[in-house]
Every structure is written in C-alpha cells, then in structure tokens.
Amino acid sequence: MKYKLTTILLLFIAFLNAQNTQSPSKNISLDFKLSSDGIPSYTLAYKNKPIILQSDLGIKLKETNSLDANFRIENIDRKSVNETWQPVLGEQLNIKNNYNEMTVSLSQLSSNRKLNIIFRVFDEGVAFRYEFPKQPSLNYFIISDEKSQFNLTGNHKTFWIPGDYDSQEYVYNETKLSEVDNSKIDLNNGIGLKSIKDKYRVQSPLQMKTNEGIYINIFEATVVNYPVMHLDLVPNEYKLTSNLVPNAIGDKAYLQAPCVSPWRTIMVSDDARDIVSSKMILNLNEPCKIEDTSFIKPMKYVGIWWEMHVGKATWDYAGSQNAQNAAGNLIPTGKHGATTANTKRYIDFAAKHGFDGVLVEGWNVGWEDWFGNWKENVFDFVTPYPDYNLKEINDYAKSKGVKMIMHHETSGSVANYERHLDRALNLMKEYGYPAAKSGYVGRIIPRGEFHDGQTMVNHFNFVAKRFADYKMMVNSHESSRPTGFSRTYPNYIAAEAARGNEFNAWSNGNPPMHETILPFTRLLGGPMDYTPGIFEIKMSVYDKSKTEQVHTTLAKQLALYITMYSPLQMAADLPENYEKYPDVFQFIKDVAVDWQESKYLEAEPGDYLTIARKDKHSENWFLGAITDENKRTTEIKLDFLSPNKKYKATIYQDGKTADWKNNPISYDIKTIQVTSKSKIKLSLANGGGTAVSFEPIN
C-alpha cells in the first residue's frame, strides 16, 4: 500500500514536471521539463521530428544564487491568442498574431526565489522569455550570464557571420555547423571592429537548413533594456548557448524586478517561405506606443551620399584638421559634396522625379577628424560648414515640395550625441526636417562599451523615443540589429545594421547571394536601409584603376526594392547616372514602399527569392525576383492579381547576355497585358534579377 502511494506520488510529480504545448496547427510541439535537480529544460519537435534536443534554461546572477537550478513548479498557466493588428507602415495591412502560450512559474526550493518562463508556440516557431516577478528577495540584480541552450540535431547547413559585439557588417559564410570558425575568415573585409574573442561565436539571426530540408532560424525579439544575444557554438556537438554582450566591466545586464528578458525565438518549417514571411518577431513586440502616428510616413529619397562612397566628393570641407590658414579657418578641398549649390541640384532632381526627400551627409563641422581617433567631441550636430547654407537650402526645398533628411554621424561618441540631441532635434524642428539618418561608425564612447551591449541598446531605443517626442523619424546605421522595436516605435523607420550596398563601392563587396540571405536574417527584425538602385555598377567609371563593383546586374538593383522590405528606400546612385537610363529609372519612380499585401512566391536562403506586393494606396502590384551567382529561369503564376482585371505589366529584366561580372548593365524592358490567369516566365542572369510593375487598365 505504502509502496503504491509513493509510486503514485512520484508519477504525479513527474507528470507535473513535464508539460507540453503545441502550435495552433499542431505541427510544432514544445515540451518543458524540470530535472530531478530542478533544472528547467525544453525540447522542440516539428511534424514529430526532433528539432531542438533537450536544452537547459537559466540565468546566472552576479552577486547572489543563480536562477538555473533547484526549482520546483508552482503553477502552469495556459492561454491562446488569435488576434489581428495593423502596422502603421508595413508589408501588409493586417498582421495575424496566433499562438498558444504556457507560463511555467518556478520557485527555488531553498530561497523561495521566483522565476517564470513564458513559452509561445506559433505556427512557424516558438518563443520563450524569462520573467522576473516582483519578490522580496530579488529587487535590483545583475545578470552575469544567460544559459539558454539550443541543442541541434545534426550538422546543419548554416548562414553565419562572426560574433563581433560591434558590427554585423560582414558577408555571410555558408558552411556546415562543424565548419564555423572565426579564425578562418577574413575579418579585415569591412569596417567591423573585430571585437571577436571566440572562434566559435556567431550572431543571430542564424539561418540553418537540415539535410532533410527543414529550415531553422534562431533569433530574438524585443531586445529592450538588455544586451544583444550572440551564440556560442560547440561545433562538433551542434550545441548553441546564448552569449550576452558584456559592458565595460564585464557585466551583462542590470535589471530591477518586475521585468522580463527579450524573447528567444526558434522558427521552423519545411517551406522557407514561412520563415522569410514570418511576422513572429513583430508579433512578440509591444503594440505601438505613439498615440498620434500621422507624422510617420514612408519615404523614397535621394542624397548626397554615393558620390562620397565612390570617391567623387568628400564629407569633409578641409582635407584634415591641419588644413587651416593663418587665420585658423579651414581650407576647403574643392571636393566637398554638401554644398548649397549641389544640394539644390539634388532637390531639383527629387522634385522633378517625385522623390519625397533628400539626405545630405557631410553638412556639419567635424568630418576632418571623425574617424579612428576615439575622440569624444567631434560633432555638435548643429554647426554647418561655411559652404552649406541651412536656411537657403531648407527654404528652397520647401518651395519645391521636398523634405530634407538630416544626418547625425556620431562616430560612436554616444555620450556626445546624447548631450547634443535635444539641440539637434530643435534645429531639425526649426527647419521642418521630418527624419534623420544616424550613424555609429567606430568604437563606442563611453569607452569600453560595445555596440551590442545593454547601454547601447538603451541608447538606440531612447533615441527612437526622443525622436517620437519631436514627431520625427530615425534611420540608424551601425546600430545593434533591430528585433521588432519598430512595432512599438514605428518612427524607428529603418536601420542598416548589416552589410549594406555601400560595401560594394570600396571593399570586395557583397557577393550576389548576400541579398538572398538578408531577408532570412537581418530583415526579420525590421526594415533595412540597404540603399539599392546603383546603375553605374563598375567603380572604374569613376577611376580607371578601381576594380570594385556592385555584385549585381542592373535589373537586380530594381528587384531589391521589392525583396528588401523598407518603408524608407533610397535611390542611391547619382542623378547623372539615373539620367542616363530614364527607362529603367521609371521603375524606381513608380515602385511603392508601403503595402496592403505581400506574397512570398519562391524562397531559398542563399539561392533565390521572389516576392509580389500590392501598393497600400492603389491597385498596382510589383514583383521582384533575385538570384545568387547562378542564373535561373522560373515561371510565375499571376494568381495574386485581382480576378476581373486586366493589367499592363512592365517587365524589367536582364538582357540575354547579362552577367553580374562581365556584362552587368545589359537589360531589356518589355510591356505585356496580363490577367490573374497568366503566367510569366522569368530569366535571371548570373547575379541577376527581374522587376515587374502591374498597373490595372480596366
């Protein structure tokens, strides 16, 4: 009798200590378990196949007992959510948020300390986060480590970049997990700060594919008041563990209960389109906190920008800080891009071709000394160079109906930027600037901080909020990569935070497959300011000795306006280059940037991507198809078009002999009539693409 009761009790505890929850479709199954030592863990299966093997969860605290063992389950809470919300700007009008949630409330046997782990299971993946409830024995605390494991089942194909705490501006490596090794890649290929200590540390989002054709993506959502999570790999065991970016003194996060960690996410599907189209990351973020969002508007813009990257102009007015005359005035180089006259030329061009904005870089004093000196007070964000007349330019822009976009390069001196931010925003207000582009090139001040640490995450989020206070939008470059914060603060309209098109101008560039990977990685967290639209592809046009080039055909540059989602899109090339190809330029003039609907038609990370999108404000559709270095033909059914309409389809495609390396500019434009019953055959060159616009004609 006694024996039987003990067995029943043990069975009951085992039952309580193992909990399961599934996705609405039942394809994904998540098991939570508490070991006999009270260590929490989980496993994940997709269509009954294991995806994540038993993986421990837990938080290490600096000064007190850690929250990683000796737990018992206090309570299990479950709920289901199925709702729809509308983003201010987005890929679609309505976003469905459908998941099953399980909250496991734990308490520690000795200390009675509490920790909750919340799981949400969506149809395309799982998310979990730690919640630290308000409790007497845990108030203000320091996280020294997070031990969230992701134990994979095999040697998957992986698209990875090194775990540099300061930069994501790397080309992706496509290797097996066992071949990840930061010591074997070229870290000099870019402006990354090489804050890489570990051979096997990679960044998330990490996109993988199993031998059986299952796509797995590990990322995070809602990184707020917490550092970015990188991933440590044990290469031959295929085990990943969270690696939180430290601050200057080695701590990871300072928190006060009640509070939560970001969500750790694992997406999984046998169809790559489910991952690349997923809105899970946005869904895990808080709803919009800006009441009046009327100032948040999509923008297509041109700018005094590429001419500096190709070496035709300079950001600085004088060659160096020493280039001063006897009176102490800076001596101009004669190549300064941001002059009043040149800016007016761009304003005229924007007005003529219907662009919303003009960005001007190099307008303010400081560029003589901005790079590499780790100096605190480089820019004040309000003092223009003598040849840049703020008032005249802004009056002129207004008269032409064009908005100016401000530029705030901080050169990593965040302390200085925060000190000047309100003055900088007031200057923007005075002249009616709706938006700024910010930049964080170089090492961070406060010294010792990394771009991806908690202090900097808080800075980027603070800047978005402060811009919202002033009813302005911000687009950050070299920030930590977004994790869906643009749902909460949609005025954080875009970010670069990956290796952008600019690298093609002055480094060995971005290989053709680069743009087929970014939508599976960087873009899951929010819009990217990739700056497409380069028509003069070879840099030898500017200087015969140059061998750099954009790794693309001309038609692919058009397709990127569709495949790289952003409500802020630049036409990045020089006005004179667009004027050479007015027929091709027409697509950039026509293409929308804010959408009712998006259809992910074909997708394979590292190989190809085809997307069709419907303009938010008209019946027009646009299609973009891109490929990697291999040419590709495909047939696309146009069944996304409205059934009873005829459309004029303008197809911008690679010429018959086009090739990204040998013949990048060759293109062909044709116009045909189509309906929703039509099919079109696309032929993409090596490194090529196709763009199509569909306009109803009845």
- In the complex, the residues that contact ligand NOJ under the rule CB under 6 A are 305, 361, 409, 439, 441, 477, 496, 500, 502
CB of residue 361 vs Ca ion: minimum separation in angstroms?
12
Asked whether the bond before 258 is cis by omega within 30 degrees of 0, the reply is: yes
CB of residue 101 vs ligand NOJ: minimum separation in angstroms?
39
Number of Cβ within a 10 Å radius of residue 107:
19
DSSP string, 626-682: EE-SS-EEEEEE-TTS-TT--EEEEEEEE-TT-BTTTBTT-EEEEEEEE-TT-EEEE
Structure tokens at 178: 């066992």
Residues 468 and 429 sit within 8 Å (Cβ to Cβ): no
Asked whether the bond before 605 is cis by omega within 30 degrees of 0, the reply is: no
What phi, psi does 450 have (nearest 5°)? -105, 155
Answer positive or negative: Cα dihedral of 584, 586, 590, 592: positive
Residues 6+ apart with CB under 8 A from 625: 559, 563, 602, 608, 609, 610, 611, 634, 636, 682, 684, 689, 690, 691
Number of Cβ within a 10 Å radius of residue 354:
11
CA distance 500 to 521: 13
CB of residue 440 vs ligand NOJ: minimum separation in angstroms?
8
Number of Cβ within a 10 Å radius of residue 328:
6
Region of 235 (left: φ > 0; alpha: ψ -120 to 50; beta: rest) is alpha
CB of residue 407 vs ligand NOJ: minimum separation in angstroms?
7
CA angle 154/160/165 to nearest 5° reads 125
Report the SS3 class of residue 570: strand
Residue in the block written with tokens 């495609």: 653
Residues 6+ apart with CB under 8 A from 275: 124, 125, 207, 215, 217, 267, 269, 520, 524, 603
CB of residue 377 vs ligand NOJ: minimum separation in angstroms?
17
CB of residue 367 vs ligand NOJ: minimum separation in angstroms?
9
CB of residue 248 vs ligand NOJ: minimum separation in angstroms?
24
CA distance 445 to 63: 27
HSE-up (13 A, CA, CB side) for residue 531: 26
Residues 163 and 182 sit within 8 Å (Cβ to Cβ): yes
Number of Cβ within a 10 Å radius of residue 86:
10
CA distance 204 to 192: 16
Of 305 and 561, the one with the shorter C-beta distance to ligand NOJ is 305
CB of residue 373 vs ligand NOJ: minimum separation in angstroms?
15
| Residue range at the interface with Ca ion (CB under 5 A); choices 9-17, 91-99, 448-456, 472-480 | 472-480
Q: Tell me the angle at which helices 454-469 and 414-431 cross, rounded to the nearest 10 degrees.
A: 10
In 3D space, the residue among 527, 591, 559 whose CA is nearest the CA of residue 88 turns out to be: 527
Number of Cβ within a 10 Å radius of residue 524:
28
Residues 551 and 562 sit within 8 Å (Cβ to Cβ): no
Partner whose binding site includes residue 409, from Ca ion, ligand NOJ, none (CB under 5 to 8 Å by kind): ligand NOJ
Structure tokens at 589: 């003039």
Query: Counting Cβ atoms within 10 Å, is residue 546 exposed (0-12), middle (13-18) or buried (19+)?
Result: middle
Partner whose binding site includes residue 615, from ligand NOJ, Ca ion, none (CB under 5 to 8 Å by kind): none
CA angle 206/212/214 to nearest 5° reads 40
Query: Counting Cβ atoms within 10 Å, is residue 547 exposed (0-12), middle (13-18) or buried (19+)?
Result: exposed
CA angle 167/511/486 to nearest 5° reads 45
Region of 200 (left: φ > 0; alpha: ψ -120 to 50; beta: rest) is alpha
| Residue range at the interface with Ca ion (CB under 5 A); choices 20-28, 308-316, 342-350, 496-504 | 496-504
Structure tokens at 153: 């089942």
Position of minimal CB gap to Ca ion: 477
477 belongs to the binding site for Ca ion (CB under 5 A): yes
Examine the residue annotation and report whether 83 is marked as an active-site residue of this protein.
no
Residues 619 and 596 sit within 8 Å (Cβ to Cβ): no
From 91, 146, 502, 536, the catalytic residue: 502
CB of residue 226 vs ligand NOJ: minimum separation in angstroms?
25
Of 297 and 437, the one with the shorter C-beta distance to Ca ion is 437
CB of residue 500 vs Ca ion: minimum separation in angstroms?
5
In 3D space, the residue among 662, 631, 651 whose CA is nearest the CA of residue 691 turns out to be: 651
Residues 6+ apart with CB under 8 A from 2: none
Q: Which active-site residues does the annotation give?
A: 502
Residues that bind Ca ion (CB under 5 A): 477, 496
